[in-house]
C-alpha cells in the first residue's frame, strides 16, 4: 500500500519529522469572527489536501527543497468562548513552535489568527516587521464588538510596535484612512504596482531584517483566488506576488509566515491549490537565499 | 410595480405592522459556536425568502390565518465578542418583543440562540415548559470551551428550572445520558414514535400550560430537511411533526417558538421552504385553538 | 464504437424509430413564465440523459417493454414572444404526434406546457379526462400578467370542458379554493391518501375512459424529488404514485402523459432519474394492460 | 440592534432617502427571453447583498461619496405576458425616476431591459448616446421570435436614433456584421484595446455630451466575472473598464447607467461583488467630475 | 491542542490501535470501472470525516462500543493498470487484515472492490455467505469490457461458491434475470419488504453461520442516501436496513462487511453521515451479540 | 420546430455531414487513470453543448468558417478493462478518421487519450511533430502502475520518435527533469513567455511541417480555465494561446489536434465555453492559411 501521507506536500516520515524540520505548518481552522461569507475554517484541510498534488521539484530553480524538513502539526481546535480566548490559544501554540526554532507557517482560517502568531514570533525576534499582502487594510480599532476581529488584526500588530508594509490594499474605511495618516502608513495599491516600476524596492525598504509575511489570499485578484470571503476586484496576480516574495527572501530574513482567508468553493480546488503552491514557492525562495545568513 | 414585500410570507403593510401583529418573527443569523458544517447564519434570510412562496390559504383548515398579523423584525446583528455577549444581545431583543405582548418566533441560526429566547419568555410566563424537537439532546455542561454552545443549550434551559420534553432525539453522549438519568429526562426517540401509538399524548402530558416550542430542523429526517449541519438519519417526517404541533396547540398554550439550524444548501430551497411552511402551519394551529383560551 | 444512442432509454434505431413507435417523447425545454426558482428548461435534457441508465427489464413484471417502440423527438425550440405564442407552438407540435397515432409523452419544462398538450390530445379523444398529480392546484384565473402561466394551467384545462382528478394537492390560494367549490373539484390531499384506504378507487372513479396523466414532479415529497422549483413538504412517495398509475392503467386507457417541473440540481441526478424511471414504469403499466383494449 | 439596512451599499435612512438622493438604483429581476444559461433574475438581489460589503471610502480619491444620496427602489415585478409587455413596464418605471431628476442605475436581469431604460432616459435627454461595454453586439433584428430579446437590444437602441459606442465586443453574427457595416458601427475589440493606446480617446470621441452607460458584465473576461450566461474568453479586465469609465465621467455627462447579465453562481459572490463595486466606482467618478457641469 | 484524531470515529490512540482492535476499517478510494456518475473515490475520506461527528454512545443500547477497538488503516492507493490488477491489490491488503484476526470493514469506492474483500475473507471462513443490500443485482457476466466491473461483482462472488442473499434489489437486466433463474436466486424486492412481514426471517434463513455484509448505499432510497451514482427510487429506509442488520447480528456471525458507492455531493454530508452511523450501528449490533459466540 | 442540432457548433446536416467534412470531432469521455479530481469524462459533452452558443462568424477575420464541414462523431464508449485496452480502442477509432482524410480533433477526457490519437495520425504523417500546450510535462515513465497514464502520455509520444515542443509547462518532477535533459527537451515556461519576445518564433522553429496540436486546458491559467483537475497557477492567457496557434497555422500544417482535461464545474460553463471557442478559432486559423498548402 503505497499511499501519500496526509501532511503538507504528502512528505514521508523523514521529511516531515517535526524534530528535524526547519519549517512547521500550523493549521488553524477558525472563522468565528466572520459575519459575511463563512467557511475559511475549511481552508487548512483543503490546502493540505491540495498540496499533495504540488510537485516537489521547483521548475524555476531546477531543484527540490523539501529535504529541509517541513512538519505538519495537528490543527488547533477552535475555542468557542470568544476571539480573545482563541487569540491566547493560538499564541500559546505558536510560541512553542518558535521556541523550538522552527520557521512557523500558519494556515488560516480567518485573518484574526495572525495577531497571535505575530505576537509569538515577536517574542523571539524583537525587531520584527510584517509584510502584509491583502486587499483590506484590517486596521479598524474593533469590529462587530471585538478588537480581535479579522478586520482589526493589523491594528493589533501595529500596537505591538511592529512596522508593517502593506501591498495590494484596495479597500479600507475612512476611519482606517485616518489611522493610516496618523501612523504614517502608505499602502502600495495595485494601481501603484502597475504604474511604479520600483514598487518592489519600496516594499523591501520598508521592512526590517526579520520579516513575518502574512498573505491574505484576497490580496490576489479573485480571478486567481476566487475562494475567499470578500473577493475584491482589481487585485494582484501570481507573478506580482511571487516576484515580491523572491525579492524579500533575497534581501531580508523571512522568519515566519501565514496564508489566510482561503475559503474552499464547492467543486473547485483552484484557490487552495494556489495557496499550497505559494507556500512551497515561499519555502523555495527562503531556502535558496539562506546560505549567507 | 406590484412587488412582494420582503418580510415573512411577503405580507402587505397592514398584515405585517408590528404594532398590530400577534406574532413577531425575529431573525438571528448567528452561528459562531459551530465547528463542523457552518452556514446556519444564512438560515433566516433563506427562510424569509422561501416563505414568500408559501400559500396563505391553509388547505387543511380551508382558511387564511395571516390576518392575525405577523411582523418581521430586522435581524439581530451578530456580536463577535463571544457567545456569552451574544446570549445577552439576544435576550435583550427578545425581552422587548415579549413585553410588547407578541408571540415571539425566533429564526436561527444555530441552536444556542434558544437559551436567550427562553430566558426572555420565562420573564413573562413563569410556569413555562419547552417542547424540543431535535436529533440531539443538547444537554452538555459545556462544549468547545463555552457553556453557551449549541450543544449545551437545553442544559442552560433546564438550569432555569424549566421542564422540557424532548422528541426525535437520537444522538447524545454518555455524559448527557447520565445527566438525563439524574434529571429524570426520558426523550421520546423516533423508535418510540414508531412503536408507541400514544407518544403524542405522552409528549403533551409532559408540558405545562405555557409552552415554548423549539424546533431544531435536524429533528426531521435529513430526507425532508437535508440542509442542516449534522444530518442524523432515522428522523421524523412532516406528518409526525405537524400532528404533534397540532396536539400541543389544542391542549396547551404556545407562547413562543423558534426554528433553528437551517443551513441553506446551494441550489436547493427544500429545507428553508419546509421551515417556512412549518412556521405558518404552527401559526395556523395556534390561531385555530386560541378562541377558548 | 459501442455507444449509447442519445435518446430516451438509449434505444437502438429499431426501437426508437418514430414511424414504428407506439410512444413519442416530446421534450419541451421551456420555463419563461416562472418567476421563483428557474431551470426546468434543463429538465428534458437531464431526464433523457438519466433515462440511459434505466434498466430496460422491469423487475415487477419480469419483462422488457421497449420493443413497443419509444421515439424521442427533437426538443421544441422556445418561442420568446410570450407564453401565448408558446402555447400555440406546443399545440402544433403535439397535434402532429397525436394525429400520427402515437401515445404522446411530454417532458417539461414548466407546467404551463400541459395546456397545449391536452388541447392537442382532446382534438382526437373527445371524452378525455386528466389525472393531475401535483402539489399545487394550478387553478388560478391568471398569474403574473398571463393566463398561460404554470399556475393557471389546469384552469385552462377545465375551461376546455375536460374533467380533472387532482391527487397530492397541498397548496392553493383562497381564489383557487373558491373556484374549486364552484367547479365541484375536491382534490385528494396527501392526508386523505394516508387516512382513506379507498383513495385509489376514488381517483379512478373520477376519470373517463380516455385519460391524460399530467405529473408535476412536485406531487412527490421533496425527499424523493428535490429538484423542483417549489418543494412542498408532505408529498407522495414512489409507491403511492406508481400504485395509482398501475390502477389507472388497469381500469382506464392512458392516451397521453407528461412529466413536468423537473429542475436539475447541481451534482445530483436524483430527480431526473426518478422521472425517467417513472415514465418507463408508466409505459410498462400501459403495455401490460393494453391487450384487452 | 445595529443592522445593515437592506439596500444598495447598506446605507442609512438619510443617505438612501429617495426624495433627496441623486442616484436611484432600480432592480429588474427579469430573464424570460434567455434560452441558454438562466438565472440573471437573481442578479439584482445578489448585487445588493454584495454591495453591503463594499467599503464606502474610495481609496483612489481618498473620499466617501455616498452622501450624494443613493436610493434603492423596490424591484420591478416580472410581467409574464411576454417581452413586449415587460418592455413597457420597465419604461414606465424608469420614466418616473428620470422625471424625478435622478441618475437612474438599472440592475439586471438580462440585457433586454436596457431598451426600456434608454427609451425613458431619451425622453429627457434628447441628444443621448450610449456607451456599451459588452462581449456581444446585441444587434440582431430579432431573436427566438421576439424583437425584445437580449440579443437585439442595441438594435432597438440604434432604431431610436441614439449613437452607440461598443467596447469589448468579440462575438457577433454575420447578420450583425452586415448591419454594423450599414450602420457604420465599428466596435472596439479587445484586440484593439491591447494594440491601440488611444482606444479610450476613440471611445470618448464617439459619444455625445449626455451618456447612458450600459455594462453587460460579460464585457469583462470570465476570469473576472465568471457569473454570466455566455462567458466569452478574451475579455476586458478591471483596470481597462474602470479607466474607460473615469475618462467618460471626466469628458462627458453620465446621466444614467445599467449593469446587466450578472448570473450568481452557487458558492461564489465574485461577480456580484465586482458589479457592486463597479457601480459605486462609477458613482465616485461621476461625483468627482460633476462640479464643472 | 485538543484535536480530534483523523480516523474513523475520531478515536484516541488506545481505541484505534491496530494491534488491539477487533475491527479494522480499510478505505479503498477506487472508482475506475464506473462510467456514469463518478466520484465514489471520494467516499472513504468523506465517511471518515463525517464519522468524527457520530456520537460514541448508542442511544438504543444505552452504551458505548468503541472500546472493542476500531483501527483505521491507510487507504489503498489506486492501481491504474486496470481492474484485474486492482482486484489483486485489494485482495492482498484484505487478506493480511483477515489473517490478523480483525473484523474487516471496507469503505468504497465502487462496488467492484467487494470481490477482492470477499475472496480474502473466504480464505479464512470457508462456509461464508454474503448478505447484499443493494438496488442492483450486480450479476452481469461482464460489463464495459471487464469481468471486474461494479456491475458484475456479485457474479464473481457467486462463482466463488458463496451463497448470497439479496435485499432491496430493484434494477437488473434480462441477462441477470436469466442468471438468477438458473442460479435459483430470488432477491427480496422492496415491494416484498412492504408486503411480507416475514422478510427479515427469510433473509436470515438464506445465510450461513458466517456472514459478509456488503451494503451498496443505493440500497437505501435516494431520499436517505442521495449521494450515489445511480439513485434508484423505491428503496429501503433507515429502520428497514438497521432492523435487518440487527437480526443478522443476533442469529448469525458477521465476520466482515463493506459499505460502497457513497458519492459525496457538494455542500451536503447527508449520505456519508448515514454511512458512518450505519457502520457504527453495525459494530454495536455485533458487539451486543458476540458474547455467546 | 427550429432546433439546434446536437453536434459541435450546432451545425445543420450539410455542414456536419461526415462524408463532406474536412474536420471530424471525436469525443472521448474517458478518465479512468485519474486519481485526484475526476470528471473530465464529462468534458466532451460539456464542450459540445457550449459550442452551440459559439458564434459562427469570426470577428477577427470577419468571416464564417464552418462551411469547410465539421462532423461530430459519436463518443467512444469507455473500455474498462484497463488503460492499455483503451489506448487500442482510441487508436482504432482515430485511425479510421485519419484514413478518411479528415483533420481529426479529439475531445477529452484525460490527457492519456492523446497517445492513441498521435499514433493514429503518425500512421499517415510520418514526419509529425507535436505542439503541447500544458501545465505539466507528462513525461513520466509510468504513473500509478501504468505507462498509459495521463502523467506519462508525452513520454509515450517521444518514444514514437515524434519531436515535441512544450509551452506553458510549470510543473514536473525531478525524474521528468532528468529525462528532459537526456532528451534535450527545453519547455517554454510561462516566465519565458513573459520575458522573451521571440518565444513564438522559438516554438514554431521546433516543429516539423506536419503538426499535431495537443492542448491540455490546464496550460491556461486557472483564472481562464478553472474547470480542470490540477489548476496550476501562473499559466497562459487567451491571447498568448491563440496568438501561438495563429503563428503555427501560418507557418506549419496542422493535421490534427485535441483539447483535453476539461472538467466541467457545477454551475459554470466558463471552461467548456473557452474550449469550444478555442477549437473553432483553431479551425479558423487553419482555414485562413490552407490556401497555399
Q: What is the pLDDT along chain E (293 residues), one digit of tens a residue?
A: 456 789 999 999 999 999 999 999 999 999 988 777 778 999 999 999 999 999 999 999 999 999 999 999 999 988 888 999 999 999 999 999 999 999 999 999 999 999 999 999 999 999 999 999 999 999 999 998 899 999 999 999 999 999 999 999 999 999 999 999 999 999 999 999 999 999 999 999 999 999 999 999 999 999 999 999 999 999 999 999 999 999 999 999 999 999 999 999 988 899 999 999 999 999 999 999 986 55
Q: Furthest-apart CA pair in chain A: how many Å?
A: 60
Residue C258 CA to residue C279 CA, distance in Å, equals 9
Pairwise CA distance, residues D258 & D16, whole Å: 18
Asked if residue B219 lies in contact with residue B133, where contact means CB atoms within 8 angstroms, the answer is yes
Nearest to D149 by CA among D137, D166, D160: D137
Average the pLDDT over C140-150 and give the result. Answer: 92
| Residue D215, pLDDT above cutoff 50 | yes
* Mean pLDDT (whole number) for D75-92: 92
Number of Cβ within a 10 Å radius of residue E288:
16
Closest-CA residue to E28 (of E99, E114, E101): E114
Name which of C82, C90, C147, C151 to mutate to probe chain D: the one with the most chain D Cβ atoms within 10 A of its Cβ: C82
Q: What are phi and psi of C210, to 5 degrees?
A: -100, 125
Region B153-164: what's the mean pLDDT?
A: 98
Interface contacts B/D by beta carbons within 8 Å: 28
Instruction: Count CB neighbours of F192 within 10 A.
Output: 16
Q: State the alpha helices, DSSP H only, in chain B.
A: 43-51, 83-99, 113-122, 153-159, 174-182, 190-195, 199-205, 238-251, 270-289
Average confidence (pLDDT) over B85-95: 96
Taking the C-alpha atoms of residue E140 and residue E159, their distance in angstroms, rounded to an integer, is: 12
Sign of the four-CA dihedral D270, D275, D278, D279:
negative
* Nearest-5° Cα angle at E158, E156 to E159: 65
- Nearest CA among E7, E4, B38 for reference residue A30: B38
Cα-trace Rg, chain C = 17
Give the single-character DSSP code of C219. Answer: G
Residue F267, chain E, CB below 8 Å: the answer is: no
Which pLDDT score, from 0 to 100, does residue C1 have?
43
pLDDT for res D33: 80
Cell numbers for B264, please give them.
441553506
The mean per-residue pLDDT over the stretch F233-237 comes to: 98
CA distance A112 to F191: 34
Q: How many CB atoms lie within 10 A of CB D250?
A: 13
Q: What is the mean pLDDT of chain D?
A: 95
d(CA E255, CA E278): 16
CA angle C276, C277, C278 (to 5 degrees): 90
What the block records as the C-alpha cell of E196 is 411480507
Number of helices (H), then strands (E), in chain C: 9, 9
Q: Which pLDDT score, from 0 to 100, does residue F290 have? A: 85
Predicted confidence at residue B33, as pLDDT, reads 81
Q: Is a pLDDT exceeding 60 seen at residue D292?
A: no
**Grid cell for residue F292:** 497555399
At D1, is the pLDDT very low, low, confident or very high (cuts 50, 70, 90)? very low
d(CA E92, CA F35): 20
Burial of A41 (0-12, 13-18, 19+ CB in 10 A): buried
Nearest-angstrom CA–CA distance, F97 and F108 = 16
Closest CA to C44 of C31, C32, C54, C57: C31
pLDDT, residue F1, reads 42
Question: For the segment C198-247, what is each residue's pLDDT rounded down to a tens digit?
Answer: 999 999 999 999 999 999 999 999 999 999 999 999 999 999 999 999 99
pLDDT at B12: 96
Comparing CA positions, the residue from B29, B48, B49, B51 lying closest to residue B40 is: B29
- Answer whether A3 sits within 8 Å of E76, measured CB to CB: yes
What average pLDDT does the segment A16-40 reach? 90
Strands E57-58 and E63-64: antiparallel
Helix or strand run (H / E) with residue C213? strand C210-216
Give the CA dihedral C154, C159, C160, C162, nearest 10 degrees: 60
Check E84 against F79: CB less than 8 A apart.
no
Length of chain D: 293
The Cα B135–Cα A250 span in angstroms is 57
A109 upstream amide cis, omega within 30 of 0? yes
> D81 in contact with C at a CB cutoff of 8 Å?
yes
Across the interface, whether the CB atoms of C39 and D39 are under 8 A apart is answered yes
User: Is C3 in contact with F266 (Cβ distance < 8 A)?
Assistant: no
A81·B83 Cβ contact <8 A: yes
The dihedral over CA atoms of C31, C37, C39, C43, expressed in degrees to the nearest 10, equals -90
- A251-280 in b/e form (b: 16+ CB < 10 A) is ebbbbbbbbbbbbbbbbbbbbbbbbbbbbb
pLDDT digits (tens, 9 = 90+) for A89-119: 999 999 999 999 999 999 999 999 999 999 9
pLDDT value for E34:
78
For chain B, the distance separating the N- and C-terminal CA atoms, rounded to the nearest angstrom, is 42
Look at the block and give the residue holding cell 438571528.
B28
Nearest residue in chain C measured CA to CA from F4: C77
Q: What is the mean pLDDT of residues C129-145?
A: 96
DSSP character at residue C42: G
Nearest chain F CA: its distance from B265 CA (Å) = 14
- Phi, psi dihedrals of residue A108, rounded to the nearest 5°: -85, 170
Of residues C291 and D109, more confidence is placed in D109
The residue assigned the cell 533575497 is: A250
Is E287 in contact with E135 (CB distance < 8 Å)?
Answer: no
Full 3-state SS string of F189-234:
CHHHHHHCCCHHHHHHHCCCCEEEEEEEHHHECCCCCCCCCCCCCC
Closest CB from F55, F242, F278 relative to D172: F55
Is the CB of A197 inside 8 Å of chain D's CB atoms? no
For B228-247, what is the mean pLDDT? Answer: 97
Give percent of chain A with pLDDT exceeding 70.
98
Q: Is residue A123 within 8 Å of A212, Cβ to Cβ?
A: no
Partner-chain residue, chosen from E73, E93, E266, that has the shortest CB–CB distance to A267? E266
Top residue of D223, D227, D229 to mutate, by most chain F CBs within 10 Å, is D223
Give the pLDDT confidence of F168-196 residue by residue, as tens digits. Answer: 999 999 999 999 999 999 999 999 999 99
Which tens digit of pLDDT belongs to each residue from B188-231? Answer: 999 999 999 999 999 999 999 999 999 999 999 999 999 999 99
* Grid coordinates given for D262: 450578472
Q: What percent of chain C has pLDDT over 90?
A: 90
Rounded-to-integer distance, Cα C197 and Cα F4, Å:
49
Q: From residue E257, how far is each of A288, B14, D8, E206, F93 by CA, in Å? A: 51, 62, 56, 17, 42
Percent of chain B beyond pLDDT 70?
98
* F92/E contact by beta carbon, under 8 A: no
Could you tell me the pLDDT band of residue A79, with boundaries at 50, 70 and 90?
Answer: confident
**What is the pLDDT at residue D266?**
84
Contact residues on chain B for D74, CB-CB shorter than 8 A = 1, 3
What is the pairing mode between strands D63-64 and D57-58? antiparallel
Q: What is the pLDDT of residue B278?
A: 98
Rg of chain D, C-alpha, whole Å: 17
Task: Please tell me the distance in Å from C147's CA to the nearest CA on chain B.
Answer: 17
Query: How far is residue F53's CA from residue F46's CA, in Å, rounded to a whole number?
Result: 12
Distance from CA of C148 to the nearest CA of D (A): 8
| CA gap A43, A272 in Å, rounded | 7
> How big is the CA angle at D76 (ends D74 and D82), to the nearest 5 degrees?
170
For range B125-150, the mean pLDDT: 95
Q: How far apart are CA B147 and CA B84, in angstroms?
A: 8
**Residue F75 — left, alpha, or beta (φ > 0 → left; ψ -120 to 50 → alpha)?**
beta
Strand partners for B211: B129, B254
The per-residue b/e assignment along E78-104, b for 16 or more CB within 10 angstroms, e otherwise, is bbbbbbebbbebbbebbbbbbeeebbb
- Minimal Cα distance from E74: which residue of A? A3
For B30-50, how does the pLDDT look when each residue is reduced to its tens digit (9 = 90+)? 998 877 777 899 999 999 999
Cis ω on the peptide bond leading into residue D109 (within 30° of 0)? yes
Q: How far lies F203's CA from each of C55, F166, F189, in Å? A: 51, 8, 11
Q: Which of D90, A147, A270 lies closest to F37, judged by CA?
A: A270
Q: Is D265 on the interface with E (CB under 8 A)?
A: no
Q: Cβ distance B76 to B26 under 8 Å?
A: yes
Instruction: Give F78's contacts in chain E (Cβ within 8 Å).
Output: 35, 144
Provide the ipTM.
0.94
Amino acid at each position: 500500500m503505497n499511499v501519500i501521507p496526509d501532511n503538507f506536500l504528502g512528505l514521508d516520515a523523514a521529511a516531515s519529522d517535526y524534530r528535524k524540520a526547519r519549517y512547521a505548518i500550523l493549521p488553524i481552522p477558525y472563522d468565528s469572527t466572520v459575519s459575511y461569507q463563512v467557511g475559511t475554517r475549511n481552508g487548512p484541510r483543503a490546502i493540505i489536501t491540495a498540496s499533495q498534488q504540488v510537485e516537489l521539484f521547483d521548475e524555476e530553480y531546477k531543484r527540490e527543497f523539501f529535504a529541509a524538513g517541513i512538519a505538519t502539526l495537528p490543527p488547533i481546535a477552535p475555542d468557542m468562548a470568544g476571539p480573545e480566548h482563541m487569540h491566547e490559544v493560538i499564541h500559546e501554540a505558536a510560541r512553542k513552535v518558535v521556541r523550538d526554532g522552527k520557521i512557523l507557517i500558519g494556515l488560516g482560517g480567518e485573518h484574526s489568527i495572525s495577531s497571535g502568531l505575530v505576537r509569538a514570533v515577536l517574542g523571539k525576534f524583537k525587531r520584527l516587521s510584517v509584510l502584509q499582502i491583502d486587499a483590506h487594510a484590517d486596521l479598524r480599532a474593533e469590529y462587530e464588538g471585538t478588537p480581535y476581529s479579522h478586520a482589526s488584526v493589523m491594528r493589533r500588530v501595529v500596537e505591538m510596535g511592529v512596522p508593517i508594509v502593506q501591498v495590494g490594499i484596495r479597500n479600507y474605511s475612512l476611519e482606517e484612512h485616518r489611522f493610516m495618516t496618523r501612523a504614517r502608513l502608505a499602502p502600495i495599491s495595485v494601481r501603484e504596482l502597475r504604474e511604479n516600476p520600483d514598487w518592489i524596492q519600496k516594499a523591501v525598504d520598508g521592512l526590517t531584517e526579520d520579516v513575518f509575511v502574512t498573505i491574505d489570499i484576497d490580496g490576489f485578484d479573485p480571478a486567481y483566488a476566487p475562494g475567499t470571503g470578500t473577493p475584491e476586484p482589481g487585485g494582484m496576480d501570481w507573478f506580482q506576488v511571487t516576484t515580491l516574495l523572491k525579492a524579500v527572501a533575497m534581501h531580508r530574513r523571512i522568519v515566519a509566515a501565514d496564508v489566510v482567508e482561503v475559503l474552499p468553493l464547492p467543486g473547485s480546488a483552484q484557490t487552495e491549490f494556489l495557496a499550497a503552491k505559494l507556500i512551497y514557492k515561499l519555502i523555495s525562495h527562503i531556502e535558496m537565499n539562506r546560505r549567507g545568513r
